Amino acid sequence: MDTKHFGNQDSSSKQKCPSQSAIKVLLLVDSFQLGGSEKQTVEMARHLHGHEYEVTVGCFQARGPLKDAVHKAGIPIVEFPIHGFANRIYQLLRLAGFIRRERFKIVQSNELYSNLIGVPAAWLARTPVIISSRRDLSNWSWYTPRRRKLLRRIQDLSTLIIVNCEAIRKDLVANDGFSPDIIRVVYNGLDADRFLQAPADPSRPIPGLPENKKLIAVVANMNMPIKGHTDLVEAARAVCSVHKLANFVLIGDGKRRADIERLVKIAGLQDHFTFLGHRTDVPQLLFRCDMGVLASTTEGLPNAVLEYMAAGLPVVATRVGGVPEIIEHEVSGLLVPPNAPDALAAALMRLLSDDQLAARLARAGRERVINKFNFAQVTASLKELYTLPRSSRHADGSRTNWNPEAVSRQ
């Protein structure tokens, strides 16, 4: 079909060829931009694709810097471009036809928009196993009461719902009325090796910054106020008044960047903030930083915190969503209340003033991430879910038991 693209094969990349008996899996995501859900989907595809599973990645926008990683792994990408309401219905039906024609046994949607389109399409195609997901606490502007009810009805068509932290599971049970029996927690994974390797020239500082600066990494998009940049700037006033060498390195971009830069200027902190924009060399940048901070007012399970910890940085983070499931306060990092810039500033200054504390938290944080938040565990969890004997609903209302051994022979 005209929207199916097979990536150029890179002879240096490790490609795994599925066997003829491999179970066909379709992973759905909106695009290949540098978002948390997109990163997780790409890594899931790379780790699952092989002898047991034949993976295809479906998307609605086949663009973004993560696309090359899928191509290099030899995994096909199929695009269903969406433009307007009528086109959404058309693409949903095209997707359903594609799923049925290609005989996918498992369809897994990995973020909001792929839930909305992918789950009904898989249901219409009578897919044996349909897995949807939630990776946030449903508290940004899209989630009006009406839309949340619509999403609830759509996810009712799923065989299972995957969440990436216990906080989201509790929210779905309490506020959306889902049965806890169909929700599974699969924590985000991280390729820790990328963060354990030093840059080719570790002595070279981030361009434009003197070597003696104390660099505080802030990895976050600049699209929504929930990332807490306003609180961060307010906290920086206190931090920089005491620690003159403190510099906040902002990695990420978005439509609110100009507003954040304006706040920094009003606060007179231009010499203490560095805006790097979108970057694909985050591990190398974090290697040159001294600590990481998350100032969000709400989160699911933030990849930024995992990345800080894997890079060996001590972390200060707000106690929101799944963050306490990553960080044990005073053991593997410091937790502070959200919307509390004074508490955020105090915790940052504590680390800046106590090298021994910073080193102890950094060591414990790295060990925790390596042991608990890795893709070996993610892959094992998904394989277990893919092979659970359970039933799934079809368009005619019937239910068919999922037997992985049987469908692999079809």
Q: Which domains does the chain have, with CATH numbers?
A: 4-189+374-394 (3.40.50.2000), 193-372 (3.40.50.2000)
Residue 391 pairs in a beta bridge with: 401
Q: Per-residue pLDDT averaged across 199-214, rounded?
A: 75
Number of H helices and number of E strands within the chain? 16, 16
Q: Per-residue pLDDT averaged across 327-356, rounded?
A: 98
Q: Is 338 helix (H, G, I), strand (E, B) or coil?
A: coil
Residue 294 pairs in a beta bridge with: 317
Number of C-beta neighbours around residue 349 at 10 A: 18
Summarised one tens digit per residue, pLDDT across range 82-137 is: 988 788 999 999 999 999 999 999 999 999 999 999 999 999 999 999 999 999 99
Residue with tokens 């066909």: 24
d(CA 228, CA 54): 40
**Residue among 160, 123, 164 at smallest CA distance from 385:** 160
| One-character DSSP codes across 283-346 | HHHHHT-SEEEE--SS-SS-HHHHHHHHTT--EEEE--TTHHHH--BTTTBEEE-TT-HHHHHH
Summarised one tens digit per residue, pLDDT across range 366-403 is: 999 999 999 999 999 999 999 865 544 444 444 444 44
Residue with tokens 């807490």: 228
d(CA 114, CA 46): 19
C-beta of residue 296 within 8 angstroms of C-beta of residue 318: yes
Q: Is the pLDDT of residue 241 over 50?
A: yes
Both tokens assigned to 297: 């007012």
C-beta of residue 71 within 8 angstroms of C-beta of residue 42: no
State the DSSP H helix or E strand holding residue 25, giving kind and residue range, or none if neither.
strand 23-29
State the DSSP H helix or E strand holding residue 398, giving kind and residue range, or none if neither.
none
Instruction: Place 192 in a pLDDT band, splitting at 50, 70 and 90.
Output: confident
Both tokens assigned to 238: 């206190």
Instruction: Place 305 in a pLDDT band, splitting at 50, 70 and 90.
Output: very high
- Give the C-alpha distances (Å, rounded to integers) separating 127 from 51, 131, 133, 160, 225: 21, 10, 16, 13, 38
Beta strands in 164-314 (DSSP E): 183-185, 214-219, 246-251, 273-277, 291-294
C-beta of residue 138 within 8 angstroms of C-beta of residue 161: no
